[in-house]
Amino acid sequence: MTFAPQNPEQQRVVATQAELTVVLGGAGVGKTTSALAAAHAHLERVAESEPHDRVLFLSFSRSSVARIASRANEILGRRGSQVDIMTFHSLAFSVVRRFGNLVGHGDAVLVSPAREKLGLAQHEIGYSRLIPLTLEIAQAAPAVAEHLRTRWGLVIVDEFQDTGDAQQDLLQLIARDSRLILLGDPNQCIYTFLAEDGVRVERIDEACSAAGAENTILLPETSFRDPSGIIPAVANAIRGRLFDSEAIAAAIQDERLVIQDGIPLSDETSHVARVVSELAAEDMGVAVFTHHNDMLAALSDALEADGIEHEVAGLSDALAAALDAQTAMARFHTGDGTWEIVLEAIAVFLTSAQRGQKAPPIAYQVMNGSGPTTLQARLSALRERLSEAGSIREVIEVAATAHDALGLPQKSGAWQQAATLLSVMYARAARTSSARDDHQMVAAICAEAREASYAALTDSALSPREVQLMNLYQTKGREADATVVVLREGDFMGYESEPFPTTSRLLYVVFSRARHKIVVLLVGNRFHAAVAPLAALAAN
């Protein structure tokens, strides 16, 4: 192991043998690295007495898991094979896939919430059912519960402040007889809108009380993400709404914080693309954060035209479903998918576009061939056009216009955004793929599309590129040399009043992702009161 603690507090984390330890600290202060070192130290201590012991490192999102895994080998060394790094839901899915037959769910296949509304086959389960089903399996099979409780001698939980009731129930199952290390930061609790799921700031405070002062470790504010301390100081000032602070003034003076205002909505995409291109030309990795999927899709198209490799993370359910439907059409054209799969994918899209617990009647009409004759005639015409298309390029064009051709009632914007993304994926596959025929080309496109749509369930990207585009709430577990924060006139920031605690925490998390530079782009003229002081800074 090459990790050397940088301060006494990190040394306490590495050396802890308490049953429950809580580690607190801001973004980039070394919580994850210290915890990995603690995992290594634990395995070394029990190497002779319990040579088969393991450590479980749980996180809230797959993007966090990817970040943790990237650091693990250097720190864990030969003990790396004894540490399992995964999300709560991937842990639950692994249990369901292995033991689901005990409760009638053998060979389980995970499906989206929209697909779940249409009714599940025996082998299909919805994402929201993963953890409850795992608990059901453990209750029905005591041997499975005992296996889970004894598999890991140490369980580490990252981003503990973001866990809800379901994650807590799973944790109580697997860690009843294990030591626990909980990592958290109340200032990064940005999912309080999931209060119905039990996400609340107080959870981390309760953990500290349970651990006691002697086993609650507060890491110093020294940032290892930005050793200069400039970016962390800016993020903390933003969280505290200290917009006139010396930290912000100094960062602006040194061009570590750049705020550009007065950007017309009509120029939003081109302006953002230009900023990203300039940062990428400086060999910086870039993360773009915005509230709006429409801008992400258009920006993806613009960056592809400029030859800038990038990935879009965290698609909405409707956008992911539209992308799935259009790739199903491409697979139908090449004979790699059936027409029934296309119909089901369209039905899932229609369901994703409607709120509520039930699928709309039109979704069932598409799937079973009922409903208005006009709809069936349009579906037949679409099938014929896909079958007769002369190239994959033409198939993508047919798929792009399918929403209007079928007269679908909702989410035409999501469909068009998906068409834009699919066009980008086609261009990328044509440029970089070794595919020699249409089957291979479509397979390459579908592989990237599946990765993108999977993010709608997991809040992550599976193969991060140097330029990442995402919603503001996909920030957790990510970092980049430069972050571009796009704030648009009319952005909804909730109903809070000054000091806007939720939005201030969100801005803190977004700003603290940067290692070197933050660029804030203000599109329009009038902004929510929570972010309006940024416009004032630009004016000065």
Annotated binding site for ATP: 25-32
The sign of the CA dihedral 491, 496, 498, 502 is: negative
Dig out the tokens for 465 from the structure.
Answer: 């590129």
331: part of which helix (H) or strand (E)?
A: helix 317-334
Which residues have C-beta within 8 Å of that of residue 360, sequence separation ≥ 6? 350, 351, 354
DSSP 377-411: HHHHHHHHHHHH-SSHHHHHHHHHTHHHHHT--S-
Strands 257-263 and 467-471 turn out to be: unpaired
Rounded alpha-carbon distances, angstroms, from residue 392 to 269, 331, 450: 27, 10, 18
- Environment class of 374 (CB within 10 Å of its CB; exposed 0-12, middle 13-18, buried 19+): exposed
Instruction: Give dist(CA 151, CA 52) in Å, integer.
Output: 9
Are the beta carbons of 496 and 250 closer than 8 angstroms?
no
Which residues have C-beta within 8 Å of that of residue 476, sequence separation ≥ 6? 60, 61, 63, 64, 159, 162, 188, 190, 459, 509
Residue 58, helix vs strand vs coil: strand
Q: Please name which of 87, 77, 13, 19 lies closest in space to residue 44, comparing C-alpha atoms.
A: 77
Instruction: Give dist(CA 275, CA 289) in Å, integer.
Output: 13
Instruction: Give dist(CA 393, CA 194) in Å, integer.
Output: 41
Which residues have C-beta within 8 Å of that of residue 364, sequence separation ≥ 6? 118, 347, 370
375: part of which helix (H) or strand (E)?
A: helix 373-388
State the binding site: 25-32
Strands 20-24 and 109-111 turn out to be: unpaired
Instruction: Give dist(CA 414, CA 233) in Å, integer.
Output: 38
Instruction: Give dist(CA 239, CA 249) in Å, integer.
Output: 15
Q: Please name the residue that has the structure tokens 């697909």.
A: 115
HSE value, Cβ hemisphere, 13 Å, CA-based, for 94 = 9
Rounded alpha-carbon distances, angstroms, from residue 267 to 41, 130, 258, 407, 488: 54, 43, 18, 30, 12
Residue 271, helix vs strand vs coil: helix
Are the beta carbons of 454 and 462 closer than 8 angstroms?
yes
The DSSP code for 19 is S
